[in-house]
Structure 1
């Protein structure tokens, strides 16, 4: 299952890179055309705006899979294993609820706007709301997978703390620990 998730995220990474490249070409090309030739790419702003939304939501999917969301482990890291498990389960249930709200809202908006055409491209504005549907469905799969692994005891104690600290903070923590050990020995 991990290989499937990793492969899916690699596809998302490639789509994100492609969308960013298209955005750069559209926006930069539009700026050059406006200043140099007093013209522009008509669909540039609309397509760039839609791609930005899609990049944000696809990046959020990858962040959920990699447990890269913001948070603090100040309390959870100090709890016993059972406390960490309880916090993980409660946190995942809350995230699944928020994901459900996003999914149902995005789906409703996509249905409402299915026949509404975008002003410049003429494409359905449901494309805009589909990004929320893709995010919610993908995030729910990742969250459910972690929840099942936690409930079946397949997560290690380190994995029960879902927040990853940055490398800089980890190094600061190691430096502080070394300094405390040195100070205690004196």
Structure 2
């Protein structure tokens, strides 16, 4: 049930990221054509594109945390016994939760500071530029807490304790979260 909800959220964020990227391309390309072809332009194009990029980046980071799509190395952890893997898993998740708290606190402070400030062109509150940091921190912390819950209830096996993607594990054209990672192929063989 929870896994289906998480997959639904990731797919929804994927759609939002595609929409953000499409709008950014459309606005910037349209602005270039209008500026050089007709000596006019879309006033909000640059500013809105920048804001969409910030939101897209943080939503992508949430999906990356959920799907373990961030690159890393497992040279040490893969050689540890199960108890060592468990300690590293627990320590890394607690550290990441601490970073999520720092991220939330900093983004909240910036949001409060910039609540009354408005952007130059859109005249929207600058708090919207810092809000995605809070969204990321909350959603990433929930994802990490869910993994810790699975860890403490014994739902994670020894190989699932290594949440790292090597660059070899993600060939071009493979979507993170697919079952095509090198480690999974080796386990199946």
Counterpart position of 2:182: 170
Alignment of 1:54-133 (within 5 A): 54-133=55-134
**Helix, strand or coil at the partner of 1:159:** helix
Counterpart position of 1:181: none
Which runs of structure 1 show a deviation greater than 2 angstroms over 4 or more consecutive aligned residues?
167-171
Cα deviation, residue 152, structure 1 = 2.0
Q: Deviations over 1:64-83 (max 9, x none)?
A: 00011121000101111111
Gapped regions of structure 2 (runs ≥ 5): 172-180
- Higher Rg of the two aligned structures: 1
**Helix, strand or coil at the partner of 2:160:** coil
Counterpart position of 1:183: none
Counterpart position of 1:153: 154
Pair 1:2-2:3 in alignment: yes
Q: Which moved more, 1:150-159 or 1:133-142?
A: 150-159
Counterpart position of 1:36: 37
Gapped regions of structure 1 (runs ≥ 5): 175-186
Q: Which moved more, 1:25-34 or 1:142-151?
A: 142-151
Q: Tell me the distance in 2 between the aligned counterparts of 1:151 and 1:86.
A: 12
Q: Tell me the distance in 2 between the aligned counterparts of 1:153 and 1:170.
A: 24
**Helix, strand or coil at the partner of 1:134:** helix
Counterpart position of 2:49: 48
Q: Could you say what the CA RMSD is over the residues aligned between the two structures, in angstroms?
A: 1.6
Q: Tell me the distance in 2 between the aligned counterparts of 1:37 and 1:69.
A: 43
Q: Tell me the distance in 1 between the aligned counterparts of 2:153 and 2:76.
A: 23
Paired residues in the alignment total 173
Counterpart position of 2:174: none
TM-score, L = length of structure 2: 0.88
Q: Tell me the distance in 1 between the aligned counterparts of 2:165 and 2:84.
A: 18
